[in-house]
Amino acid sequence: MTNQNILQRAKGSGLSRRGFLAAATASMGSLALAGCSPAAQENTLAETGEAPEILEGGEWVPLPCAPSCGGRCVTRGYLVDGVIVRQKTDDFIEDTAENPQYRCCPRGRGSRQLYMGADRLRYPMKRKHWQPGGKDFHGELRGIDEWERISWDEALDLIASELKRIKENYGPEAFFCGISGDGRGGGMGTGGGVTRLLNAFGGCVYVWGTQSYGGMPIVGNTMQGEPWFFGATDTQDEFSMAKAKRVICFGMGNVTWNNWMYVKHAGVEIIVVDPICSPAAQALADRWIPVRPGTDGALLLGMAYHMIENNLHDQEFLDTYVSGFDADHMPEGSDPKDNFKDYVLGTYDGQPKTPAWASEICGVPEADIMWLAEQATSVSPLVMRSTLGPARTDNGQNYAQIFLAVGWMTGNVGIPGGEVSMSHPAMMGSKAMAQSGQNGIVVPKNPICEDPAESAALPFGGYDPSKFYGLPYGHAWDAIINGKVIDFVHGERDIDIRCIWKVGTFAPLNQISGGMKGIEAFRKVEFVVSSDLLMSSDCLYSDIVLPCASLWEAEGGSAAQAIGDGLLIYYGNKVMDPIYEAKDDLWVEAELAKRLGLDPKEVVNVEWKQACFNRVAGTQVMKEDYSDYEPLVSITQDDIDELGVEGQPQDGKIPYKEFVKTGYYRCERSQNDPFVFTPRSGFRADPVGNPLGTPSGKLEIYCPSLVDYMKLYGTEPLVEATPKYRPAKEGYEDTFANWDAKEKGEYPFQMVSTHHMRSMHSFYNNVKWICEAFANNLFLNVLDAQKLGVSQDETVLISSQHGKMLRRVNVTPRIMPGVVLMGEGNHFDVDEEGIDRGGNANALAGGHLIAAGHQPWNTVMVKIEKWDGDPLQPDCVKPARIYDFE
Ligand SMILES: Nc1nc2c(c(=O)[nH]1)N[C@H]1C(S)=C(S)[C@@H](COP(=O)(O)OP(=O)(O)OC[C@H]3O[C@@H](n4cnc5c(=O)[nH]c(N)nc54)[C@H](O)[C@@H]3O)O[C@H]1N2
Ligand SMILES: Nc1nc2c(c(=O)[nH]1)N[C@H]1C(S)=C(S)[C@@H](COP(=O)(O)OP(=O)(O)OC[C@H]3O[C@@H](n4cnc5c(=O)[nH]c(N)nc54)[C@H](O)[C@@H]3O)O[C@H]1N2
Ligand SMILES: [Mo]
């Protein structure tokens, strides 16, 4: 069944009044931005077509759900005549503690409203006042201009001629692409992070640094002597972790915590240190210790002081496995005075890092700091885990150093149940029972800009400082606006970006810090092109917008991916044809290649269907006797002929067709299988025979190579070899005009922006059911609300040095006084006064260049004022951005 009929049918499948109103709106003619009519407040056709009471005439089919949360949970849809009318989740295996069901989250269950929403982009569009040619582009109207429907041919011709013109006049360095690589998953369509076309056309400028990991990667690499990737080799699996007596977790957000339930049910005590008590913390934690953002370093030092004073730390472990804890264990050639213990005691700098000192900074009462130190050392095995949030701060790298140092003081390395790790919150162990195959997509090499490594995360190491890697996150918008970029050893160099390219799975304007500067950068350049499923912020500030087909519209969308814990392999079935004129990005690139005189095969070397087949065919799962991996699927010549792909027949666990029909294959764990994983057990057993990759072969608290490595970036290193607390720029200390007099400054509050129940970054924020269930309000402590005179759901104006925003408030005791929280990801909706009514946390966060290119989202200072203008409507009733042109 094809295109618009699907939406029409979804709409008509239950004629409620709401459905009728929405249908009426949809036929009202071309709305540039639906808004005035109340009926337009319905944004999802799926919602309006209320599902029939009795499900008949269709079948349950597996649906792909592959956003970048890392979860790959089970969603199923009831398919009637080309329309998914209902969704459900994993109910086809028994739910046990060892092998729980992969039940999906509210976002996954809301996918129907996303993929079948009336606000899906339907046609290619051009911004009315934009003219090609680089003169009359009217950048100032980006974000507020009207839209015209154009044909695919027109769109592709315009894009091709602009790309040619810009390259001829300014060279490939004029193209900015906010990411690198082929987007190895996480897409909602077939796009990925697409730079194939621009690379083949002569290259483009990437962005480098980290999105997710804050200041952790280089610290993890150098202090532990092996590549730090998400902490995958630092974390245990849940069976090993269940042997712990206690977990102390720094930062516990709302994300993918289901595998922690096993640990919880095993009776392990969990203490959470976080400015907020998230829903996950509410489910898991036995005690919540509120801490000010960006000050955990001070808290940990206060704990270390109490440990040293009372001899609670594991001196024997430190003597054997660690370099640089005290003067007697410093590497040759270093100044013994630079040891960590003397820094904690204040022997040479005159400032003992006592719990009282720490308390003044971090806001945790002295008694609780001492209590935490005792909790960390009174039992073993113990888990000291930090998730990523606390490192997404200006002083994230200093935090990471101190976290590892104080963690190691407890001695919990390399023993079952013991762990000192910095990692993704959902991370459990590094061993996979299933591995997905390669899709065979080869991204053409970028001739002018070095790939800053997977996921644009340069700091994973192994780069050549003499090469150009593009614009660092946090500094990218400044670089585009000012035409100057800081570049490793070259220092400052000129850059002249004329075109911003967002064709693929990323949302640079919405998601990079310093979003208001992002808008300025978007408005400055001559040409911006975006492809997406809906009118995202990036699209809104573009000149040409292309409608992208979704995962539900592509065979094998994100085929055969092993999920985070390597237990579930899933396959995304195509359930409907692309809506209206939506096309997948690979098609777009191949078409543009032709127009640019390139060989489309060089740009898109394998077709999507072949890529999916490759992936499935190459997927391996563990044999029942755990002796080796074997192919997941058997493939016959008939399968290959029927699919029209190239390949070889093979023997595997289950027939190809069965896998595709079921959509999932899951491996079973048991408590005594060889996948129980305890990191660094070999090192613990024999530190001389199994040394680490550090110069000393040990865990390095005192770590000169960290400083050397940081210097390679050509930016201010901001670290010393000894872990030390450094107050964050825009951190707690900066909220004071006068610290000694405790006199607050203009921006007295600290704001964090976290990943939350409402969205998958910028995705799902448009789904009204989810918006209704999880209003992305500003979380404000009860005491602060009283002082400000605001109550639940009232509107406040939040301002930072970087931007302004209106939000309704959630008044709650579950956030520390003085701290406010916004979920990240909302789309911009900036009014004439420059106030963002959309609630994008990046309107307030200011990007700046930090040593290794991470972004300081959790050290942001704001002021809050009661809003006396019209109150802000809740997001769930806000008009959707619908462009129908009928
Ligand atoms: N304030 C603040 N900002 C943050 C964070 C934070 O904590 N606070 N966290 C950061 C982190 S950790 C991350 S990983 C980043 C994520 O940043 P991004 O990865 O840039 O964010 P997404 O919203 O996932 O971007 C995906 C976009 O691509 C579109 N899309 C999806 N699939 C396709 C496709 O196949 N083709 C096309 N053309 N488009 C597609 C989606 O509609 C969406 O607009 O955000 C960062 N930003
Ligand atoms: N639902 C959902 N799930 C997701 C995502 C999503 O967008 N939505 N995104 C995925 C991605 S790409 C990533 S990178 C991960 C990120 O996963 P997390 O790292 O867990 O991300 P956050 O939720 O931003 O932060 C975790 C916690 O850190 C706390 N925190 C912030 N600053 C500080 C601090 O200074 N000190 C301490 N102690 N705590 C602090 C926050 O309050 C929050 O509770 O999530 C993944 N999962
Ligand atoms: Mo992330």
CATH number at residue 223: 3.40.228.10
Look up residue 121 and give its two tokens: 């982009």
C-alpha 391 – ligand 2 centre gap (Å): 10
- Give the DSSP H or E segment for 477: helix 476-482
Nearest CA among 480, 487, 535 for reference residue 510: 535
Q: Rounded to an integer, what distance in angstroms lies between the CA atom of residue 619 and that of residue 652?
A: 10
- Give the DSSP H or E segment for 79: strand 75-80
Beta carbon of 124 within 6 Å of any ligand 2 atom = no
**Number of domains the chain contains:** 4
CA angle (591 as vertex; 586, 594 as ends), nearest 5: 130
pLDDT of residue 29: 28
Cβ atoms of 198 and 175 within 8 Å: the answer is: yes
Beta carbon of 31 within 6 Å of any ligand 2 atom = no
Look up residue 378 and give its two tokens: 């009174």
Q: Name the residues around ion ligand 3, CB cutoff 5 A.
A: 211-212
- Give the DSSP H or E segment for 744: strand 743-744
pLDDT of residue 458: 55
Q: What is the number of the ligand closest to the CA of 255?
A: 2
Nearest-CA residue for ligand 1 atom 27 is 506
Beta carbon of 253 within 6 Å of any ligand 2 atom = yes
Do 248 and 194 lie in one domain? The reply is no
224's CB contacts (< 8 A; 6+ apart) are 234, 404, 692, 693, 694, 699, 700
Q: What is the number of the ligand closest to the CA of 187?
A: 1
Beta carbon of 507 within 6 Å of any ligand 1 atom = yes
Look up residue 705 and give its two tokens: 């190579």
Beta carbon of 552 within 6 Å of any ligand 1 atom = no
Structural domain contains residue 781: yes
pLDDT of residue 462: 61
Look up residue 241 and give its two tokens: 């972790």
Q: Closest ligand 2 atom, CA of 755?
A: 23
C-alpha 423 – ligand 1 centre gap (Å): 20
Q: Rounded to an integer, what distance in angstroms lies between the CA atom of residue 106 and that of residue 795?
A: 26
Do 501 and 598 lie in one domain? The reply is yes
Query: For 701-741, what is the HEC assignment?
Result: CCCHHHHHHHHCCCCCCCCCCCCCCCCCCCCCHHHEEECCC
Q: Quick check: bond before 381 cis, omega within 30?
A: yes
Beta carbon of 823 within 6 Å of any ligand 2 atom = no
Look up residue 242 and give its two tokens: 């269940």
C-alpha 451 – ligand 1 centre gap (Å): 19
Structural domain contains residue 448: no
Domain of residue 759: give its range: 733-877
Pairing of strands 499-503, 175-177: parallel
Structural domain contains residue 459: no
Do 230 and 184 lie in one domain? The reply is no
Instruction: Write down the residue that tokens 């070889």 correspond to.
Output: 648
Pairing of strands 633-634, 484-487: unpaired
C-alpha 761 – ligand 1 centre gap (Å): 5
Do 591 and 506 lie in one domain? The reply is yes
Cβ atoms of 284 and 260 within 8 Å: the answer is: yes
Residue 81, number of CB atoms within 10 A of its CB: 12
Last residue of a domain, one of 59, 93, 115: 115
Where residue 598 sits, what CATH number does that domain have? Answer: 3.40.50.740
Q: Is the dihedral of CA 585, 589, 592, 594 positive or negative?
A: negative
Q: Closest ligand 2 atom, CA of 758?
A: 1
Where residue 835 sits, what CATH number does that domain have? Answer: 2.40.40.20
Nearest CA among 827, 784, 753, 875 for reference residue 254: 753
Beta carbon of 436 within 6 Å of any ligand 1 atom = no
Residue spans of the chain under pLDDT 50: 1-49, 182-186, 454-457, 559, 564
Structural domain contains residue 265: yes
Helix residue ranges per DSSP H, 546-695: 585-595, 600-603, 608-617, 637-643, 656-662, 681-685
Structural domain contains residue 661: no
Nearest CA among 90, 38, 35 for reference residue 65: 90
Instruction: Write down the residue that tokens 């009207």 correspond to.
Output: 146
Beta carbon of 503 within 6 Å of any ligand 1 atom = yes
pTM of the model: 0.93
pLDDT of residue 187: 53
Residue 673, number of CB atoms within 10 A of its CB: 16
C-alpha separations of 580 from 192, 255, 589 in Å: 21, 34, 19
Do 31 and 84 lie in one domain? The reply is yes
- Give the DSSP H or E segment for 360: helix 355-362
3-state secondary structure of 231: coil
Look up residue 84 and give its two tokens: 């998914």
Do 139 and 109 lie in one domain? The reply is no
Do 189 and 297 lie in one domain? The reply is no
Instruction: Write down the residue that tokens 């966060």 correspond to.
Output: 845
Cβ atoms of 254 and 776 within 8 Å: the answer is: no
869's CB contacts (< 8 A; 6+ apart) are 795
Q: What is the number of the ligand closest to the CA of 546?
A: 1
Do 349 and 387 lie in one domain? The reply is yes
Q: Rounded to an integer, what distance in angstroms lies between the CA atom of residue 233 and that of residue 213?
A: 15
Do 747 and 850 lie in one domain? The reply is yes
List beta partners, residue 635. Answer: 650
Do 111 and 123 lie in one domain? The reply is no
Q: What is the number of the ligand closest to the CA of 760?
A: 2
Cβ atoms of 712 and 823 within 8 Å: the answer is: no
Q: What is the number of the ligand closest to the CA of 372?
A: 2
Last residue of a domain, one of 362, 397, 429: 429
Beta carbon of 755 within 6 Å of any ligand 2 atom = yes
Cβ atoms of 852 and 459 within 8 Å: the answer is: yes
Beta carbon of 259 within 6 Å of any ligand 1 atom = no
Pairing of strands 860-866, 749-754: antiparallel
3-state secondary structure of 808: strand
pLDDT of residue 219: 93
Beta carbon of 855 within 6 Å of any ligand 2 atom = no
Q: Rounded to an integer, what distance in angstroms lies between the CA atom of residue 680 and that of residue 687?
A: 10
Q: Closest ligand 2 atom, CA of 213?
A: 14
3-state secondary structure of 563: coil
CA angle (469 as vertex; 465, 472 as ends), nearest 5: 105
Last residue of a domain, one of 374, 404, 429: 429
Q: What is the number of the ligand closest to the CA of 531?
A: 1
Q: Phi-psi region for residue 372, left (φ > 0), alpha (ψ -120 to 50) or beta? A: alpha
Structural domain contains residue 882: no
Structural domain contains residue 645: no
Pairing of strands 322-323, 527-532: unpaired
162's CB contacts (< 8 A; 6+ apart) are 132, 499, 526, 527, 529
Do 92 and 142 lie in one domain? The reply is no
Nearest CA among 474, 455, 467, 395 for reference residue 712: 467
3-state secondary structure of 620: strand
Do 814 and 858 lie in one domain? The reply is yes
Helix residue ranges per DSSP H, 363-395: 366-377
Structural domain contains residue 438: no
**Mutational pocket test of ligand 2: of 230, 273, 387, 781, the residue with most ligand atoms within 8 Å of the beta carbon:** 387
C-alpha 755 – ligand 2 centre gap (Å): 5
